[in-house]
Structure 1
Amino acid sequence: MYNTRYFYVLFLFMCLNHAMCFSQNKSITITGLVLDKQTNQPIEYATIAVLDNQSKKAITGSITTQDGSFSFPTEASNFYIEISFMGYTTKTINNFKTANHTINLKTVLLEQALEGLNEVLIQAETSQTVFKLDKRIFNVGKDLSASGASALEVLNNVPSVSVNIEGVISLRGNQGVQILVNGKPSVLAGDDGSTLGIITADMIERIEVITNPSAKYDAQGTSGIINIILKKSENRGLNGSATLNVGVPNSNSFGLSVNKRTEKFNLFSQLGFGIRTYPTDFESINSDLSTNTTITNIGDSEFDEKFANILIGADYYINERNVLTLSGSYAYEVEDQTAASVFHQSNASNTLTDSWNRDENTEATNPKIRYELQYKSDFKRHEDQSLIISALGNYFHKDQSSEFNNITTFGDLDDFKQESRTDYRLEDYIFKLDYTHPFIEHYTLETGSQYTINKVSNDYAVSNVIGGVWVEDPNLTNIFDLNQYVFAVYTTAAYEANKWGFKLGLRLENTKMNTLLEATNQTDEQNYTNLFPSAYTSYKVTDDFSLQLGYSRRINRPSLRQLNPFSNIRNNYSISEGNPDLQPEYTNSYELTSIHKFEKLSFSMSLYHWYTTDVVEYITVFENNVSISKPENVGSNNTIGFEANGKYSPLDWLTINGDLNYNYFDRSGLFESQSFDFKGNRWSATLTSKVDLPADFDFEISGNYNSKYETLQQKVSDMAFVDLGVRKKLVKGRIILNLSVRDVFASRIDETTTTQPDFYLYNSRQRGRFINFGVSYGFGKGEAMQFSGQRR
């Protein structure tokens, strides 16, 4: 029996040994090709993983080569295959055939991942708006009328947002809006709105409109926050695009965007240079109603700028959960502005008494530097748990000089010359820490802090020729320094399930600010601490109908332009200056939004209410035919508004997008014993139609209307204008031709009138029609039209 047992044991051992030897010799080769389903382009560095069917753990694997192919051996016998890549939906393969010790998966197509569950799309073919719990995300598409345009033109296409001819941005008609770039303040979004022109339409990935920002965000901006997110490709390998633009008025530029993604690094860069011209026609009337003396001014100006900008940066993937990002950008602009205007002065009998010409020649250089270091860590316990630490620096310097020459053509006024110089420097430093911690199920806690340093110095002087010698005017010459420090801490708690969600938050901010006029040693200091609560809730009634309710408290600190007391002497009879004693505005904001989806129609409607105290308004005083406008804190403002925007696709080849905003306001204020109580309303509407034509042609036309409205002293006229564009795709979208016409009928005119008991003022400005033609080419896995290189 012992021998028999020994025989069976020996036989079993021999069989197992033979099976193991056979298994070790039976190596299987897995091969295939991975392509992007949409573009049919190869995906480099995609991961091919072989996983055990029982334990679900990885056994072996490989990555794709530059042409998307892969081939590697495995000795596994009970497994399945997963193919994945960042930004794409993972594909799992359980059924495959083995032939001649080879598994040939042939061509595997990966689809780009769609993120953001429980979101509602309002637009699709061009740009699209996504509604989230506390913000709306405007994903920037290839809108035809924005071809070759700047961020300012793109913002004009975003629902709820409008931009006037001077680059001043309003959200639902309120200028108290904070502009961020990639979630942080930037010199590109400073007081001078035109600086946003360094950002072009093709550089923008999406724009976030946050009408009721949560406590996580900086409390600055009474009407909310607009966050411009720039593109940064994550595609593996070498990708990019190049764009050439030409236009009338003069608009020539070249842009290049290049991205290289490897296993450990993502290197990204953008380069642009060009020249632009902005012609402007203007007219003003100053009437002294007590003496019936009138001064009119009619003229035109031409603003030319040459620019070059470069951005470079790198993401370093320390491991799969930790990323370090370092980026920097440099821009340099050379500005030349010439203006020629004619002044006429008439008396009470409307008889001409004096005439003179005033010519301007302005030159300026503007270097801009921005640098950022960011560390992000994701945690293993939850995919949404993260820690972000960042440091950001901004620097801007304007060196400007202007010469003004007055030549009398009628009357006995003396000829005279003036000049002004500006040496302006700005430094911003922002240090942030944000931590997100999901817990239990559907709950998330956020906490963090931010410290912001703003330093500004403006050395300004005005000189007149006296006795053939330039002499500085001490009343218009000084150095203005501003230092502001804001420290903030916040926490939010959120619950978000399939049907219902809420988010509560509280932010504490301490602000220290001091200003100094060096020549007169005039100082002003402010130190105040505020709490800013926020609350949101949303409920999905059905898959096609949702409701959102939100509240936030906001602050609008005075900008440098509002604080700087220096006068603008471009027109000696229409002067604006700042007020160093200006106090911040405070707003309580409430909003109720409904979101609807139908088969061919989707839209949203919002009711909102703002209550603002210490409202900043420009007050104009008049003396000796000179109007001086200065910001003051005047009372409170109650605003109730309604907004609707949506998309309708009645046919496969036709898409219509619309936006309507109406608000009614009740002002109450007292300034220097004068009552400024009044009521009014304003509304705006935009309607855009996109038509898909045969032969890969697209056509788009957009109509815009802004109603007339009143401020404390002014009446602002209504405005209507039309934009259109045509696009042609070539080589499967690799090459794109664009023709755009902005303000087709040259009807976009900014016009204001001020009527008071003792004076009357009229001002108008117009820039006219802009025509642009662009050619874009995308290479690698990049798309055409990523970056145009244009300044504005």
Structure 2
Amino acid sequence: MKQPIYKRAMMKNLIIILHLLFGFNIVVSQSSQILITGKVLESNNNLPIEYATIAILDNNSKKPLTGTITSEDGTFSIRTTGTNYYIEVSFMGYETKIFNDFEIINNTIDLQTIILSVDNHALDEVVVRAEKSQLEFKLDKRVFHVGTDLSSTGASSLEVLNSIPSVNVNIEGEVSLRGSQGVQILINGKPSVLATADGNALGSITADMIEKIEVITNPSAKHDAEGTSGIINIIIKKSEKRGVNGSATLNVGVPNSNSFGLSVNKRTEKFNLFSQLGFGIRTYPDERKSINQDLINGTTITSFGESEFDEKFANILIGTDYHINANNVITLSGSYAYEVEDQFSKTNFSQTDASNSATDSWLRNEITEADNPKLRYELQYKKNFKRHKDQSLLFSALGNSFRKDQFSDFENTVVLGNDDDFKQKTRTDYTLEDYTFKLDYTHPFLEKYTIETGSQYVINSVSNDFAVSDLVNDEWINNPDLTNVFDFNQKVLGIYTTAAYEGDTWGIKLGVRLENTNLDTLLQTTNEQNGDNYTNLFPSIHTSYKINDNFSLQAGFSKRIRRPGLRELNPFSNIRNNFSISTGNPDLKPEYTDSYEITSIHKIGKTTLNFSLYNRYTVDVVERISTFSNNVSTSRPENVGTNTTTGFEANGKYAPTNWFSVNGDFNINYFYRKGVFETVSFDFKGNQWATSLTTKFKLPSEFDLEISGDYRSRYKTVQNEIADNFFTDMGLRKKILKGKVILNLSIRDVFASRIDESTTNQPDFYLFNSRKRGRFVIFGVSYGFGKGEAMEFSGQRRR
């Protein structure tokens, strides 16, 4: 009698565990062992079957004595001390073979070649079970199993992602999780060039290549304490390794958004070769306005300017995955990019006195040129274990280098007043080197328990050589007050361990991460050194309770850190606007946050809903503090007290029909700030909220329409008030040639309403700043070949 599929799978796992448990007894009784060997092939093409189960069972009790699985070439070898047993060979989807009559020669049983025939009844059972995609709630993640309803459609991975609750993919291919776009995407549990935000290659992964997708909204101590908005892990089927897959896209836009990209993957039994090539020209316009008002003497300086940032770029990437065998893979990749930047700006300044009469007026022009070479290289090794499908060891080494050579010329032309015309120029030599080394090990045991452990070492080295010169009597004179070399060196060593229990309805995961940070900064010209060396413990705990398949509760706590970066530490300023200066603070300390979250997950028919309550308590909060002197405002980050934030978030997806769906997110929080800076109290309470809504329509003739809106409310900081903001994006897409070619029209900020505004009201000064980027219209043509899907986004570069 044939065993049901699910019973065979359970028996396979049980046999492997028993094999390990009995391993000790097998060793001590070596002298009485019988060696059993053979090779398992499938009947259609006589190809080897990997992971077929070999079970040695007692003839009387029918209980397993030991067992193993076949290797990549279908062979197996196992020893037993039993005397009354039979041998069972099985694999999901194939008829089981049982051996009761065998010959023992020199303590060896050679079963030679074993041919397994397809079990048509079992295959039908599997197809029915996997016909519809399923969402499974796990301890600290949600697992979306891709069924034939999606895999048979030829859809891309982006469309599959868009079918998952809490995940949204806009028409340009940008992935967001619970409304945030800071998502880390992994392929088979590790970073991949196919998943980088600017790689534009996710379109080469199609639904029929995907086994499942894991969504982690609240990462544990295994991940960087710096934090992340979430992780999406795409698991590729092992059977989808062969063939040539690729995508190409061509885009044109107003303002300039012209680019070409090509992504090609060649998959064989042992190798996965991938390459990318891209180049383009883009323009980013900008409008800025500022007001500096001295409330003591009544003088006001107003500026209004327009700028245009032009970028030309080219990049190439080559890499390979080498599958040593079924359980070991090495990945080696390298990429090089070169960017040429040109920026032009014109800003009109005017000064008025207390009676609002104009006293001075001048025009400030800027011309900036920069070259940016970038290099990235990566080595990864991943080992899976036959003992358990989730047992793995991963080592990765990643290196990044970046250099910026920038030159700027400024010219002030007096229109009104007694000041003289003058010229300035700046030079920036910027170099960055980053190295990351990671080692992760995952060990499941006793079916419901898992231990994870590993380490990470990150090295950041940055040098910024900045110089300002003034033209005096036709001679360029260095300005020592604005010229210096700033060096930033940071090393972070992290070690973590997590332990998890995950039952059918309840689970818990505990973790702890230890990180040591060694930071040194140096102002070379003044020999001003700052350093910090600190060690922190970052615990985490996550638990979940599944009430039923459509309703689950999750809760979590984690301690996070936000270390100040180079821009916040570097004391240099940009002189684009001499009256609105922003600098860094070498003495800045990191922020620490205790984060609590409770989430309920509902699935009601064609609707999925998530509701979250969260509380975050942050110490040494970093806020920019503005000072004012001689009509010049200087903004500098400072550690100012604590912040307690309590909030509620709701997001959902509703797809009542095949042609319409709506995805929405709403977040509101209340915060309480406490702090004193230079004897001034900054205690206050406030709130802010944001909402977004995306609707998608499948129109006749293979047209897709997408409209999204985003609103962010007005809110307060320590000194500033940030204005509310609303903008709308729209996209129209047309598939032709069975989806291999996609025509795409997208309009970003349809009404040109995305304007960032802030005001600062203090007893002795008033500041106003605004920035407007404008509307972008882009048309793209994409083509997918092989098993690749046409890229479903316009190619707008992420910045």
The answer to whether the superposition gives a TM-score over 0.5 is yes
Alignment-mate amino acid for residue 94 of structure 1: D
The equivalent position to 2:470 in structure 1, one of 448, 464, 467, is: 464
The answer to whether the Cα contact below 8 Å between 2:42 and 2:48 also exists between their aligned partners in 1 is: no
Alignment-mate amino acid for residue 370 of structure 1: R
The equivalent position to 2:319 in structure 1, one of 296, 313, 319, is: 313
Instruction: State the alpha-carbon separation in 2 of the partners of residues 660 and 630 from structure 1.
Output: 32
Using the TM superposition, give the Cα deviation of residue 791 of structure 1 relative to its aligned residue in structure 2, in angstroms: 3.5
Per-residue deviation, residues 766-789 of structure 1 (Å, max 9, x unmatched): 111111111111111111107866
The equivalent position to 1:517 in structure 2, one of 523, 528, 531, is: 523
Matches within 5 A, 1:520-669: 520-669=526-675
Alignment-mate amino acid for residue 159 of structure 1: R
Task: Tell whether 2:498 aligns with 1:492.
Answer: yes
Number of the residue aligned with 1:697: 703
Number of the residue aligned with 1:302: 308
Using the TM superposition, give the Cα deviation of residue 309 of structure 1 relative to its aligned residue in structure 2, in angstroms: 1.2
Alignment-mate amino acid for residue 318 of structure 2: I
The answer to whether the Cα contact below 8 Å between 2:246 and 2:788 also exists between their aligned partners in 1 is: yes
The answer to whether the Cα contact below 8 Å between 1:241 and 1:787 also exists between their aligned partners in 2 is: no
Larger CA deviation: 201-210 vs 379-388? 201-210
Task: Tell whether 2:186 aligns with 1:161.
Answer: no
Alignment-mate amino acid for residue 390 of structure 2: D
Number of the residue aligned with 1:7: none
Alignment-mate amino acid for residue 657 of structure 2: L
Q: RMSD value over aligned CA atoms?
A: 3.7
The answer to whether the Cα contact below 8 Å between 1:642 and 1:663 also exists between their aligned partners in 2 is: yes
Using the TM superposition, give the Cα deviation of residue 29 of structure 1 relative to its aligned residue in structure 2, in angstroms: 12
Number of the residue aligned with 2:349: 343
The answer to whether the Cα contact below 8 Å between 1:639 and 1:666 also exists between their aligned partners in 2 is: yes
Assess, with a 3 A threshold, how the Cα gap between structure 1 residues 227 and 570 changes in structure 2: closer, same or farther.
farther
Alignment-mate amino acid for residue 180 of structure 2: V
SS of 1:570's equivalent? Answer: coil
Using the TM superposition, give the Cα deviation of residue 450 of structure 1 relative to its aligned residue in structure 2, in angstroms: 1.2
The answer to whether the Cα contact below 8 Å between 1:328 and 1:371 also exists between their aligned partners in 2 is: yes
The equivalent position to 1:93 in structure 2, one of 98, 108, 118, is: 118
The answer to whether the Cα contact below 8 Å between 2:194 and 2:200 also exists between their aligned partners in 1 is: no
The answer to whether the Cα contact below 8 Å between 1:428 and 1:454 also exists between their aligned partners in 2 is: yes
Assess, with a 3 A threshold, how the Cα gap between structure 1 residues 505 and 760 changes in structure 2: closer, same or farther.
same
Number of the residue aligned with 1:165: none
Task: Tell whether 2:357 aligns with 1:332.
Answer: no
Instruction: State the alpha-carbon separation in 2 of the partners of residues 399 and 680 from structure 1.
Output: 43
Per-residue deviation, residues 704-739 of structure 1 (Å, max 9, x unmatched): 101010100001100111111111111111111111
Instruction: State the alpha-carbon separation in 1 of the partners of residues 50 and 594 from structure 2.
Output: 53
The answer to whether the Cα contact below 8 Å between 1:49 and 1:81 also exists between their aligned partners in 2 is: no
Instruction: State the alpha-carbon separation in 2 of the partners of residues 347 and 512 from structure 1.
Output: 50
Number of the residue aligned with 1:432: 438
The equivalent position to 1:757 in structure 2, one of 743, 759, 763, is: 763
Alignment-mate amino acid for residue 401 of structure 1: F
Instruction: State the alpha-carbon separation in 2 of the partners of residues 261 and 109 from structure 1.
Output: 29
Assess, with a 3 A threshold, how the Cα gap between structure 1 residues 137 and 681 changes in structure 2: closer, same or farther.
same
Assess, with a 3 A threshold, how the Cα gap between structure 1 residues 309 and 251 changes in structure 2: closer, same or farther.
same
Per-residue deviation, residues 54-96 of structure 1 (Å, max 9, x unmatched): 9999999999xxxxxxxxxxxxxx999959xxxxxxx983249
Assess, with a 3 A threshold, how the Cα gap between structure 1 residues 340 and 202 changes in structure 2: closer, same or farther.
farther
The equivalent position to 1:251 in structure 2, one of 243, 257, 271, is: 257
Alignment-mate amino acid for residue 628 of structure 1: T
Using the TM superposition, give the Cα deviation of residue 497 of structure 1 relative to its aligned residue in structure 2, in angstroms: 2.2
Using the TM superposition, give the Cα deviation of residue 370 of structure 1 relative to its aligned residue in structure 2, in angstroms: 1.1
The answer to whether the Cα contact below 8 Å between 1:637 and 1:668 also exists between their aligned partners in 2 is: yes
Instruction: State the alpha-carbon separation in 2 of the partners of residues 138 and 507 from structure 1.
Output: 27
Assess, with a 3 A threshold, how the Cα gap between structure 1 residues 116 and 228 changes in structure 2: closer, same or farther.
closer
Task: Tell whether 2:263 aligns with 1:264.
Answer: no
The answer to whether the Cα contact below 8 Å between 1:181 and 1:230 also exists between their aligned partners in 2 is: yes
Using the TM superposition, give the Cα deviation of residue 212 of structure 1 relative to its aligned residue in structure 2, in angstroms: 3.8
Number of the residue aligned with 1:40: none
What is the TM-score with the length of structure 1 in the denominator?
A: 0.80
SS of 1:93's equivalent? Answer: coil
Using the TM superposition, give the Cα deviation of residue 652 of structure 1 relative to its aligned residue in structure 2, in angstroms: 3.0
Gaps of 5+ in 2: 1-40, 57-66, 75-88, 95-115, 206-211
The answer to whether the Cα contact below 8 Å between 2:241 and 2:268 also exists between their aligned partners in 1 is: no
Instruction: State the alpha-carbon separation in 2 of the partners of residues 565 and 497 from structure 1.
Output: 53
SS of 1:161's equivalent? Answer: coil
- Does 1 or 2 have the higher relative contact order (CA < 8 Å, sep 6+)? 1
Task: Tell whether 2:776 aligns with 1:770.
Answer: yes
Aligned residues: percent identity? 60
The equivalent position to 2:224 in structure 1, one of 207, 218, 221, is: 218
The equivalent position to 2:488 in structure 1, one of 482, 485, 492, is: 482
The answer to whether the Cα contact below 8 Å between 1:127 and 1:138 also exists between their aligned partners in 2 is: no
The answer to whether the Cα contact below 8 Å between 1:212 and 1:589 also exists between their aligned partners in 2 is: no
Alignment-mate amino acid for residue 217 of structure 1: H
The answer to whether the Cα contact below 8 Å between 1:187 and 1:396 also exists between their aligned partners in 2 is: no
The equivalent position to 1:784 in structure 2, one of 781, 785, 790, is: 790
Using the TM superposition, give the Cα deviation of residue 310 of structure 1 relative to its aligned residue in structure 2, in angstroms: 1.4
Instruction: State the alpha-carbon separation in 1 of the partners of residues 457 and 620 from structure 2.
Output: 25
Instruction: State the alpha-carbon separation in 1 of the partners of residues 620 and 786 from structure 2.
Output: 54
The answer to whether the Cα contact below 8 Å between 2:732 and 2:746 also exists between their aligned partners in 1 is: yes
Instruction: State the alpha-carbon separation in 2 of the partners of residues 337 and 772 from structure 1.
Output: 22
Using the TM superposition, give the Cα deviation of residue 680 of structure 1 relative to its aligned residue in structure 2, in angstroms: 0.4
Using the TM superposition, give the Cα deviation of residue 614 of structure 1 relative to its aligned residue in structure 2, in angstroms: 0.5
SS of 1:515's equivalent? Answer: strand
Instruction: State the alpha-carbon separation in 2 of the partners of residues 733 and 253 from structure 1.
Output: 21
Alignment-mate amino acid for residue 662 of structure 1: I
Per-residue deviation, residues 124-183 of structure 1 (Å, max 9, x unmatched): 99757799xxxx996665x32x26xxxxxx25x543326xxxxxx7xxxxxxxx978888
Assess, with a 3 A threshold, how the Cα gap between structure 1 residues 623 and 210 changes in structure 2: closer, same or farther.
farther
The answer to whether the Cα contact below 8 Å between 1:242 and 1:788 also exists between their aligned partners in 2 is: no
What is the TM-score with the length of structure 2 in the denominator?
A: 0.79
Assess, with a 3 A threshold, how the Cα gap between structure 1 residues 563 and 184 changes in structure 2: closer, same or farther.
farther
Larger CA deviation: 648-657 vs 454-463? 648-657
The answer to whether the Cα contact below 8 Å between 2:560 and 2:594 also exists between their aligned partners in 1 is: yes
The equivalent position to 1:455 in structure 2, one of 450, 453, 461, is: 461
The count of corresponding residues between Structure 1 and Structure 2 is 688
Alignment-mate amino acid for residue 738 of structure 1: N
Using the TM superposition, give the Cα deviation of residue 331 of structure 1 relative to its aligned residue in structure 2, in angstroms: 1.1
SS of 2:568's equivalent? Answer: helix
Matches within 5 A, 1:182-261: 198-200=198-200, 212-221=218-227, 224-226=228-230, 235-261=241-267
SS of 1:267's equivalent? Answer: strand
Assess, with a 3 A threshold, how the Cα gap between structure 1 residues 474 and 112 changes in structure 2: closer, same or farther.
farther
Assess, with a 3 A threshold, how the Cα gap between structure 1 residues 158 and 536 changes in structure 2: closer, same or farther.
closer
Using the TM superposition, give the Cα deviation of residue 451 of structure 1 relative to its aligned residue in structure 2, in angstroms: 1.2
The answer to whether the Cα contact below 8 Å between 1:48 and 1:62 also exists between their aligned partners in 2 is: yes
Instruction: State the alpha-carbon separation in 2 of the partners of residues 52 and 525 from structure 1.
Output: 58
Gaps of 5+ in 1: 1-27, 33-44, 64-77, 84-90, 97-104, 148-153, 163-168, 170-177, 190-195
The equivalent position to 1:747 in structure 2, one of 748, 753, 778, is: 753
Task: Tell whether 2:693 aligns with 1:687.
Answer: yes
Using the TM superposition, give the Cα deviation of residue 746 of structure 1 relative to its aligned residue in structure 2, in angstroms: 0.6
